[in-house]
Structure 1
Amino acid sequence: METYDIVVIGGGPAGFPAAIQAARMGARALLVEKSGQLGGTTTLNRVSFPGIFHAWGRQIIAGIGWDVVKRTVELEGGELPDFSAPPEQQWRHQVRLCPVLMAALIDEDLRMSGCELMLHTMPAAIEKSDEHWRIQLCGKEGLFAVQSKWIIDATGDANAAHLAGCPLKPRNEKLQPGTLVFSFDGYDPQNIDIDALNKVALSARANGELEPGDFGWHGDSLAHLVHSRGKNSIHTTGIDAFTSAGKTTAELKSRAALLRVFRFLKTQPGFENLSVAWAAPECGVRETRIIDGESTITYEDYLHGKRWPDAVSYSYYPIDLHTDHGLRKEMLAEGVVSTIPLSAMIPRGVGQFLAAGRCASGDQLANSAYRVQGTCMGMGQAAGAVAALASQVGITNAQQVDYAKIRQAVVAEGAIFPD
């Protein structure tokens, strides 16, 4: 049985920085990813505009994730936004990039770090055995086992934490809807009579030809969908992607929504040549499960920029709670930047385990903000450093790792550590 210092499960925005950080520190690391490419939300789900890395005119998240984002833009010959001043709308500081190039650059960075990789692989069972975790993996060839001193759950869904018996927060609120990201082509938005289109669309919604989620968080108008050519405009409601059955429902419902909208628009003036330029292969999921951590980031903590004593990364994004009926959005007050504590990534009462990314411990409103890609990259890199340091000296409790050494390790790889 192969033995690792660290196994990272999930190769998205939190997972790949965690794995690369740990491997660059000399740990024997394995990254396990269920799909055929790394990058997760940015690449697989085609939310290829990660953010936010800057706040109030200064950079607050950098390091491994930011480096690959920046190099992707440079390689394609694109331009980064002007980060010198806060924009009126926060999305203007998100970075537009080519997801295909980003995935390839992550592959390159991972290979150069020495981290091992298994794509098309998922955990089937996780149990503690002495001072190691025994992880049963399911690959195309069947089941096989590895063992590791530490596990980092970067699945976004707390799937590994669930298998390992870590406590999860009870699901009291309705989960946020998902979104299939796609791009329409074959029409000129400037030639579309939006008022006339909306009148017909509302009638179509009333008779069941369209559904409320097809209007996304934009209420009673298809204007955003038309002008953006789709992108992340629609909502797939009533899903729970924590299980394979739930994820199957999400995929089927989201593709049905795309087909429904396409069929409707195709019959409207100006859309005679409508086509689908591209669509993400998977429905993007905003929320599933969250660990019950040694600490929990609350709405008030996040909104007021609490400075946690064990903060390991920054976060800057508005409260961004998507619902079946719209969007609850709250901007942070001028000058406020939030922080992410290490203790929120530690499942309560469980050693040698970290959860990085959107499954870190927080309430629903706080999670709606810190779940975004830039924050997850910062969290993941910090988690990789903590696990690597702990495995080197045989520490089983992440909170016992020397805080100064965590700072030193991530700053050496370009990260920005909280003051």
Structure 2
Amino acid sequence: MTDLAAAGKALDITRIRQDFPILSETVNGKPLVYLDNGASAQKPTAVLDAMDHYFRTSHSNVHRGAHTLGDRATTLFEGARETVRSFLNARSTNEVIWTRGTTEAINVVANGLAETLSEGDEILVSRMEHHANIVPWQMIAERTGAVIRPIEITPAGEIDESSFDGRLASDRARILAITHVSNVLGTVVPLERLLTKARERGLYTVVDGAQAVPHYQPDVQALACDFYVFSGHKLFGPTGIGVLYGRETLMEAMPPLQGGGEMIERVSFEKTTWNTLPYKFEAGTPPVAEAVGLGAAIDYLGQFSRESLETAEQALLQRANELVETVPGLSVIGTATHKVPVMSFKMEGLHPSDIGTLLDQQGIAIRTGHHCAMPLMDYYGVPGTARASFAFYNTLDEVEQLFQALQKIQRLFAE
């Protein structure tokens, strides 16, 4: 047994899996092997129970209810915000904005920063970005006359730092919007180094952390980024909830994206004034139960050493890499040195969607397609890939099952 595998076993993955009821499901008569964690991770009982308890005992609208349930709901809601603040090491809960997810969070930031842009200003995004960190900036560029400048990558799927330095050298560069971890390649971007360079040039920095937070606990003060965003459902929490961390001085100056409800201080037909942070950016009834669930997910993860979880996940990726050569015609897309446990691949003569369907028949769930990263697919000259993405609750046996199933598929089509 490798050192990585031994470390992963020390976590008692069997016990951990009991915390996730869905992992006991069967699919097409086979035990579920869930390897689509990059799209949406499964939820522990702690999250399900926290949301159920909220609805059964404390459901109410928050902040303005003059009754006990309103007080209970508000306490839980704002308690979850404090949990997120601590998770990110933000300076204040004023810097923690609830959104519907990463996509909405980036749209809020893009809308707010639009006022800082003029015609010809440049927004830097990398070739490996999710569409959610491309399209909002394109929309703002059309509105302001700014232009999008892509930062190129290497064939291994790493940031081409000469391309980055070249883009950064432009006198018109204003915003760097970059992923922390690629959802397709699993590449971990050298964020600290890139952000330092961007900060020295005076750029606003926006980090898409959706794929990073399931594997790492970011420290936004250490990163010194202006904005950091992520989604709850990838962090073992519920859907419909996300987080926008924004530097308080910047959030104070930015206009809100949506109007109405909680985000107002005073309304008249002549003028409306905005509420204080963080409520200025939280129009309407907020996702109270989802916030409670996300707080519970972070608390659940807090019982483990993040280093031990990372070690267990790296053991899965290491074994997957070892087994690649056992499947003739299989090639991996993205071979960066520093990766989270994500493997995108193609098989000679097979469309990715066919691979996904055939694996599903064997109880194995993966993701197929362009993964909302068409510019990246264009770079590699493929319409899409099959993607297996692992979480700490996956096992080495499940990695073996994946490759045994791929061998079976390869033999079937080789005949």
In the superposition, the TM-score normalised over structure 1's length comes to 0.22
Higher helix proportion, which one? 2
Structure of higher CA gyration radius: 2
